[in-house]
Amino acid sequence: MASFGLALLTAALPFSSAVAAEFDSASLGRLFDGARTYAPLAVTAAPGRTRAALNQEQSETLAALFKAVPAAARAWPGYDFLDRPFLVTMTDGSAVLIGHPAPPPDFRPVAFAGRLVYVSDRGPAIGFAFKTNFDFAGAKVMAVRGGDKSTPAELVRFAVHERFHDHQHGYDFTRGYESYRVEEAEDVALAALEDQALARWLRTDDADAMRDFAALRTRRRTLFPGTAAETGEENNEGTARFVETAADVAMEGDAASKQVILRGLETLYGVEDMPKWRLYAVGAALGRFMESQTPGAWQREVQDGRRLSDMALARLAVGPAEADARVARLTAGPEYAAALAAGRKSVADLKAQRQEVLRRFEGQAGLRVVLQSNSGDSEYFSGKKWIDYPDGSMLFDPVGEYVGAGFELKDIMLRKTEASELEFFLPAGSLIEIDGAPRRPGVSGRFASVRLEARGVRVEIGPGTFSDEGKTLRIVRQR
């Protein structure tokens, strides 16, 4: 995700005597370096000039942010969280804005810790937990919705993590990225031992623990070649977790920061969650290991597409004989037996769950809608539960939010096929209007093609646009 270069010339600050601040990319690049203060954000008003103080939540969030930003920059050279304006909403509906070239009139200037921020009692509706390219008052801003996280530090960690994904777009972090499905209990068990080894190293700095990890990772790659695909997620989510926890060191200390990673490593993941969620913690731990070996020197290689775990394995250089001996010792212990039993149960449970969820999806009443999105459209999924199928499809039960192809879907069962078709059901009694008069939609979008199926009737239309207004699906063919 390409970094957003800001070149903002002069901004008149709405104090009683106007103050001009000059912004340029060079000064932004020096933002919050060490103990120095970034001049444009350090403009302060004379006593009594600001209209209102910050409330406790706003103050604590900003304090956490201004600690985290320089720490994140040190953790990943070239990553600057505030090279784009930042907007965060609060639980009371207010909002704080930083670095915007022309804040809206309802955002008043407030000096905080020697820096200038803007505060509004009523912030905009962001809609989702975050948006890295939120259009606001004529500028693209990084926007985060408050209230979803329990503490200011947790909110800032989340923002730093998601903004880092935007930074990744300009590089080859995930060259050749693939997903993979876990189907074998032994894969689950060996992965659990990997996680235990990483946790032991993180707690004690025990070099022998990392050699155990290298041996186990080598064995998994041999037995299950598809696990090579997990290195893409380690480079993607793992480095983002590494950066957010590095920022957390400045906010909450090293012990609390490590605990974020340890929680992930000490979770026994089943076959559904292994290819995604465990790799946040694994990648973060590997990032910490590489930083302990070659501080500040490995990040560029990851940006250029080298796999983080491959770099760690090369650094450790565990030979075949040593690897075999270590794996034999580790798999003879009770930890492996427990993980293997849990893996077998997880495999059986997933098979039954796939059948049950698919039965419920196919058994829904109403109108089946199948959309083929336009190629190249970006997508965003959120949901606590989705299931992968051997045919390459995935089924959300339900999807929390889906944004893609210009439209949004919320809180429905949704299937995405390997061919990128989206399938869902409209409730029984829904109306369809083709080429009807457009109205303000509740949900709208565009499609490459759409197929509607009901009572044995199948209609194919496309390309065009649609809108969902409650019980009416309006479809307009492209002219």
Q: Are 105 and 121 in contact (CB under 8 A)?
A: no
Give, in order, the Cα–Cα distances in Å from 380 to each of 161, 400, 410, 479. 16, 11, 12, 29
DSSP 358: H
Spell out the domain ranges in the chain: 10-49+67-168, 185-339, 364-477
Tokens 């910490």, residue located? 288
Cis amide linkage into residue 398, ω under 30° from 0? yes
Nearest to 199 by CA among 305, 104, 285: 285
- The per-residue pLDDT for 9 is 20
Q: Are 417 and 399 in contact (CB under 8 A)?
A: no
Tokens 């061919």, residue located? 419
Report the relative pairing of strands 86-89 and 139-144 from DSSP bridges. Answer: parallel
CA distance 280 to 203: 17
Instruction: Classify residue 401 by burial, with Cβ atoms within 10 Å: 0-12, 13-18, 19+.
Output: middle
- The tokens of 77 are what? 């050279």
Enumerate residue ranges in the chain where pLDDT < 70: 1-52, 176-177, 372-379, 383-385, 404-409, 427-450, 452-462, 464-479
Tokens 């022998």, residue located? 208
CA distance 473 to 369: 10
- The per-residue pLDDT for 466 is 67
The beta-strand segments (E) located in 200-251 are none
- The per-residue pLDDT for 459 is 61
- The per-residue pLDDT for 173 is 80
CA distance 262 to 204: 12
The beta-strand segments (E) located in 38-106 are 86-89, 95-98
Give one DSSP letter per residue of 214-235, joined into a string.
HHHHHHHHHH-GGGGGHHHHII
Residue 85 phi, psi dihedral angles, 5° rounding: -55, 150
- The per-residue pLDDT for 412 is 80
- The tokens of 29 are what? 């690049």
